[in-house]
Chain A
Amino acid sequence: MNAGASNQDQSLVGRPPKALVALGAAYMALLVLAPLVMVFVEAFRKGPGGFLEVFALSDTWAAIRMTLIVAAIAVPLNAVFGVAAAWAITKFQFKGKSLLLTLIDLPFSVSPVISGLVWVLLFGASGWFSGFEAATGIRVLFATPALVLATTFITLPFVARELIPLMQEQGADEEAAAVTLGAGGWTTFFRVTLPNIKWALLYGVLLANARAMGEFGAVSVVSGHIRGKTNTLPLHVEILYNEYDFVGAFAAASLLAGLGLLTLLIKSVLERRFAGELSASRRH
């Protein structure tokens, strides 16, 4: 548990030989760091002017806007879901808990393409809800609602997964004390529970948001690839790339890579500063 102390002892026996350290570092440089560097090298191949060209396209801004809209709906929905799921699962006893946990994790074990496919099967031709558009006038497939549904499916487990182990460790005693002293349910949640879980909640939202904005496969299947209408930023990258506008593709991609780096940075800050307030699996 107290890794700091035991690490000192371990160093006597377990120190990896220098060659092994070099091998690990070189492997990571080639496999993991090289692609990241490549994004920026290619994006600036024609200098800053070439880099900026893609941001003069209205389609790029439409794609950025669509990415923000989809994430702005999917992430809060899953944050509320995650809190509700963690509350029900960790504060109460009931049958079928492990089944519920399996269901929550299910979107993680499904291919992104399948996560998109299922919505086409529901709302596409001869699907169970193929009459939905005629009945309500709302177009789902190849429009914003399908992008939101697919993204919500993909990012569903993130917040719940961070909160459930943490709230399990914390137990229900503090909340029980508050309620016994006469606090209402919502007061208890906002004054007792939320302060205890706020960093873990932020952590989950951060990961869900990064995935929502970067999702490609699921969104690609349901979007219909309509330029300037249903394209998110990752889909826009694909279109530019397939049109041989490599500098444009990598310039747009560098925005997403920047988002990924920012996410990593905030994530490691959270892990370091608030280790005690994240679930045990996040304390390195």
Chain B
Amino acid sequence: MTAAVQTRRRRAEVRVLPGFHLSLGFVLVYLSLLVLLPLSALVLRPWEIGVDGVWRVVASPRVAAALRLSFGASAVAAVVNAFMGLVVAWVLVRGRFPGRRLLDAAVDLPFALPTAVAGIALTALYAPNGPFGALLAQLGIKAAYSPLGVAIALTFVGFPFVVRTVQPVLQDLDAELEEAAATLGASPWQRVRLVVLPAIGPALLTGAALAFARAVGEYGSVIFIAGNLPLKTEIAPLLIVVRLEEYDYAGAAAVGLAMLALSFAILLAVNLIQRGMAVPGGGR
């Protein structure tokens, strides 16, 4: 008892400021009602149809195909974004050219453009009668209404993540290291591969993982360009909507839960890889 009183008094001394219980109480109630309660419905309601019911939904050819497309196209988009995001970050941090600031601001366009707007604009660009689509059609490539269209849209939405995570690390990178490497006779490519890449590796991986996570759940910018053919160009989030429109709530929840579980497993794996490559001076 006395110990409890003592700790309470000690805490009271630390807490000079008022409002702890008010603010924390409000935050906990708010989070419980708006985040915990809804997400627990997602976690609990699929099991209404039993464990084998959930398994039957997730393993059905249509759901499996949708999950494969969503995760596959997101992985492709994340890899493209890792490469090109690095190039753009490099150009923006180290380059000196007119319009650099404007280009820097434009990196956030995919964040700023509402997804439905991006969706119809990308479709207009890549449809067979659109400016890019017509060009690609001449090469025999079908962009819109194919898995390639899905990957293009997902590359668009994920683009800012890699640039914005790599940029600050590149900015803080010690130039002396590179100068030393140059003095010792390292070629530009060797400097990039042996000095720069190891330092920004963790940030690059984080950016790619963020882009991937965003792409997996993306809906608005994809559904217009995807074509939405079951088993072929139907993404997992769209399948949730389809299930809802059939009033199959448990089935929709099962697909949603499967998406979340897969995403978390992949992000966990990325986290473990990152821990393995922790390099002094790189990332945060």
Give B99-135 as 1s and 0s: 1 = Cβ < 8 Å from A's Cβ atoms. 1000111111110111111111110110000001000
Interface centre among A33, A215, A216 (most CB of B within 10 A): A216
Could you name 16 residue pairs across A and B whose Cβ atoms are closer than 8 Å?
A: A3-B171, A7-B171, A12-B175, A13-B175, A16-B91, A20-B90, A21-B91, A24-B92, A36-B109, A93-B14, A114-B237, A122-B41, A188-B17, A220-B241, A241-B224, A284-B168
| CB within 8 Å for A111 and B237 given contacts A35-B121, A35-B122, A100-B27 | yes
Whether B94 lies near A11 (C-beta < 8 A) is: yes
Whether A238 lies near B38 (C-beta < 8 A) is: no
Whether A121 lies near B42 (C-beta < 8 A) is: yes
Whether A14 lies near B178 (C-beta < 8 A) is: yes
Whether A234 lies near B114 (C-beta < 8 A) is: yes
In the complex, chain A residues whose CB is within 8 Å of the CB of B27? 81, 84-85, 88, 100
Whether A217 lies near B34 (C-beta < 8 A) is: no
Q: How far is the CB of A186 from chain B (nearest CB, A)?
A: 8
Interface residue ranges of B167-226 to A (CB < 8 Å)? 167-168, 171-173, 175, 178-179, 182, 188, 191, 213, 216-220, 224
Interface residue ranges of A1-22 to B (CB < 8 Å)? 1, 3, 6-7, 9-17, 20-21
Which partner residue on chain A sits nearest B86 by CB separation? Answer: A24
In the complex, chain A residues whose CB is within 8 Å of the CB of B168? 281, 284
Partner of A32, one of B16, B109, B217: B109
Q: How far is the CB of A232 from chain B (nearest CB, A)?
A: 10
Identify the B interface with A (CB < 8 A).
14-20, 22-24, 26-27, 30-31, 34-39, 41-42, 45, 48, 84, 87-88, 90-92, 94-97, 99, 103-110, 112-122, 124-125, 132, 155-156, 159, 167-168, 171-173, 175, 178-179, 182, 188, 191, 213, 216-220, 224, 237-238, 240-241, 244, 247, 249, 252-253, 256, 259-260, 263, 267
In the complex, chain A residues whose CB is within 8 Å of the CB of B17? 91-92, 172, 175-176, 179, 185, 188
Give A88-125 as 1s and 0s: 1 = Cβ < 8 Å from B's Cβ atoms. 10011110000010011011011111100111111011
The A contact surface, by secondary structure, is: helix
Which partner residue on chain B sits nearest A183 by CB separation? Answer: B18
Whether B213 lies near A109 (C-beta < 8 A) is: yes
What class of interface size applies to chain A in its complex with B?
35 or more
Q: How far is the CB of B20 from chain A (nearest CB, A)?
A: 5
In the complex, chain B residues whose CB is within 8 Å of the CB of A120? 244, 249, 252
Alpha-carbon gap, A210 to B17, bound state (A): 34
Q: How far is the CB of A153 from chain B (nearest CB, A)?
A: 6
In the complex, chain A residues whose CB is within 8 Å of the CB of B173? 10
Whether A121 lies near B41 (C-beta < 8 A) is: yes
Whether B124 lies near A42 (C-beta < 8 A) is: yes
Q: A10-B173, A179-B16, A253-B120 are in contact. List 11 more A-B contacts (CB 8 A).
A: A10-B175, A12-B179, A15-B95, A21-B95, A35-B118, A39-B120, A117-B253, A121-B38, A152-B34, A156-B34, A246-B124
Whether A103 lies near B35 (C-beta < 8 A) is: yes
| CB within 8 Å for A15 and B117 given contacts A35-B156, A118-B38, A264-B108 | no
Alpha-carbon gap, A36 to B107, bound state (A): 12
In the complex, chain A residues whose CB is within 8 Å of the CB of B191? 13
| Chain A to chain B: the 8 pairs with minimum beta-carbon distance, closest first | A111-B217, A214-B114, A118-B38, A185-B18, A260-B112, A217-B219, A24-B91, A216-B220
Partner of B159, one of A3, A32, A121, A180: A32
| CB within 8 Å for A117 and B240 given contacts A11-B94, A127-B41, A263-B112 | yes
Q: How far is the CB of B168 from chain A (nearest CB, A)?
A: 7
Q: How far is the CB of A143 from chain B (nearest CB, A)?
A: 16
Interface residue ranges of A128-169 to B (CB < 8 Å)? 128, 149, 152-153, 156
Partner of B113, one of A25, A36, A91, A220: A36
In the complex, chain A residues whose CB is within 8 Å of the CB of B121? 35-36, 38-39, 42, 250, 253
Alpha-carbon gap, A45 to B267, bound state (A): 44
Q: How far is the CB of A191 from chain B (nearest CB, A)?
A: 14
Interface centre among B109, B110, B191 (most CB of A within 10 A): B109
| CB within 8 Å for A249 and B217 given contacts A28-B107, A260-B109 | no
Alpha-carbon gap, A197 to B241, bound state (A): 40
Alpha-carbon gap, A38 to B221, bound state (A): 14
Alpha-carbon gap, A94 to B99, bound state (A): 48
Which partner residue on chain B sits nearest A218 by CB separation? Answer: B219
Query: Is A52 at the interface (CB under 8 A from chain B)?
Result: no
| CB within 8 Å for A268 and B105 given contacts A87-B19, A216-B116 | yes
Alpha-carbon gap, A184 to B19, bound state (A): 10
Query: Is A34 at the interface (CB under 8 A from chain B)?
Result: yes
Whether A25 lies near B91 (C-beta < 8 A) is: yes
Q: How far is the CB of A234 from chain B (nearest CB, A)?
A: 4
In the complex, chain B residues whose CB is within 8 Å of the CB of A81? 26-27, 30
Q: How far is the CB of B114 from chain A (nearest CB, A)?
A: 3
In the complex, chain B residues whose CB is within 8 Å of the CB of A213? 114
In the complex, chain A residues whose CB is within 8 Å of the CB of B108? 264, 267
